[in-house]
Chains A and B, each alone.
Chain A
């Protein structure tokens, strides 16, 4: 690249940057910045979202899409899942599920990442709430087109 072309390129980039900054400033003064908070200006406060209520205990919830991890149909406040202890296992483990009348952990959760079957819950499946979650009354934040299995086979 010669000195001249480099200078021209530099001028061009700075021109584009200036244009971008100007148009952003202009857009901001016209419409207000739109963010997840909505159209509120930076100076104004925003309303705190309503406290979402956890659903009361219910029978198992239907799955909404193919390979969805089953949802937790009960409250789990204060259930400890720590390195030392996993409260979920006191009902959902293979030793206890019958007595507790709970859903047992899937067989797939005993395989480690190389596909070798383990005698107990695989480490990568230990933290249940990474995939399984309880529900609250809240509209989805973003839309999606996921379909249950039956719809896919049609």
Chain B
């Protein structure tokens, strides 16, 4: 490689390339850090509850359940169940969530009545999402491999064994555990089968 012999410095001189690389690297770190911080900020309960739609409806229902308050104080907050943990799936879900911003602007569920009107549809979205990924967010904490059936109650133990043998996933049975159940009487026969609802 030739170095400039006279005083002129070329655009792609060794020094400027070095400078661009270093500045780019530092900016990259800063950008990535900021992006990730902002992303994680949207992954907190405080952020979810900054919308009254969440705070007045689903949050109030969740506060009565075991995932909010229990004997050991271990909690599962909104994103623990509703946002995937690993990066790829998290980003995909975050992009999908831009649709929720659109409906926030439209005011689709900005009153209790509108929310109740949409409850079944919203629940169906989440049941389908959970089922499609084999209840991945439940399994972040509740691992089937490490369940001790002998420690479970006399009702839970056989039902878990049978359920797993039949290839069922958590959400098939554990619906309405963190929020109120919608009125499922309007569902078609196919949907009742899909959601394992039999009464």
Q: Using CB atoms and an 8 Å cutoff, list the residues of chain A in contact with chain B.
A: 56-58, 74-75, 77-78, 80, 82-87, 89-90, 93, 95-96, 100-101
Q: Give complex CA distance A77, B155 in Å.
A: 14
A-B contact pairs, 27 of them (CB 8 A): A56-B153, A57-B153, A57-B154, A57-B155, A74-B153, A75-B153, A78-B65, A78-B66, A80-B176, A80-B181, A82-B181, A83-B183, A84-B182, A85-B180, A85-B181, A85-B182, A85-B183, A85-B184, A86-B199, A87-B181, A90-B198, A93-B199, A95-B198, A95-B199, A96-B198, A96-B199, A100-B159
Whole-angstrom distance between the Cβ of A100 and the nearest chain B Cβ: 8
Q: How many residues of B contact A (CB 8 A)?
A: 17
Q: A57-B155, A89-B199, A95-B199 are in contact. Are A80 and B65 (CB under 8 A)?
A: no
Q: Give the residues in chain A near B176, CB-CB below 8 Å.
A: 80, 85, 87
Q: Is B177 close to A, CB under 8 A?
A: yes
Residues in A neighbouring B153, C-beta threshold 8 A: 56-57, 74-75
Taking each of B66, B154, B158, B184, which has the highest tally of chain A beta carbons within 10 Å of its own beta carbon? B154
Q: Which of A82, A89, A90 has the most chain B CB atoms closer than 10 A to its own CB?
A: A90
The prevalent SS among residues of A at the interface is loop
What residues on A are CB-neighbors of B199 within 8 Å? 86, 89-90, 93, 95-96
B46 at the interface (CB under 8 A from A): no
Asked whether any CB of chain A lies closer than 8 Å to the CB of B64, the reply is yes
Task: Tell me whether A78 and B64 are in contact (CB under 8 A).
Answer: yes
CA distance A84 to B180 in the complex (A): 9
A56 to B198, CA, bound (A): 26
- Segment 147-181 of B: residues with Cβ below 8 Å from A: 153-155, 158-159, 176-177, 180-181
Q: Is the CB of B181 within 8 A of A78?
A: no
Beyond contacts A57-B154, A77-B66: 16 other A-B pairs, Cβ-Cβ < 8 A, are: A58-B154, A78-B66, A80-B176, A80-B180, A80-B181, A82-B181, A84-B182, A85-B180, A85-B182, A85-B184, A86-B199, A90-B198, A96-B198, A96-B199, A100-B159, A101-B158
**Residues of B with C-beta under 8 A to A87:** 176, 181
A80 cross-chain contacts in B, Cβ below 8 A: 176, 180-181
- Measured CA separation A90–B176 after assembly (Å): 12
Q: How far is the CB of B119 from chain A (nearest CB, A)?
A: 9
* Chain A: minimal CB distance from B60 (Å): 14
- Kindly provide the distance from the CB of A129 to the nearest chain B CB, expressed in whole angstroms: 16
CA A74 – CA B157 in complex, angstroms? 14
Known A-B contacts A57-B154, A95-B198, A95-B199; the reply to A84 vs B181 at CB < 8 A is: yes
Q: How far is the CB of B150 from chain A (nearest CB, A)?
A: 14
B168 → A minimal CB distance (Å)? 12
CA distance A96 to B192 in the complex (A): 14
Whole-angstrom CA separation of A80 from B199 in the bound complex? 14
Contact of B198 with A84 in the complex, beta carbons under 8 Å: no
Minimum CB–CB distance from B154 to chain A (whole Å) comes to 5
- A56 neighbours in B (Cβ, 8 Å): 153
B-chain residues with CB within 8 Å of residue A82 when the two chains form the complex: 180-181
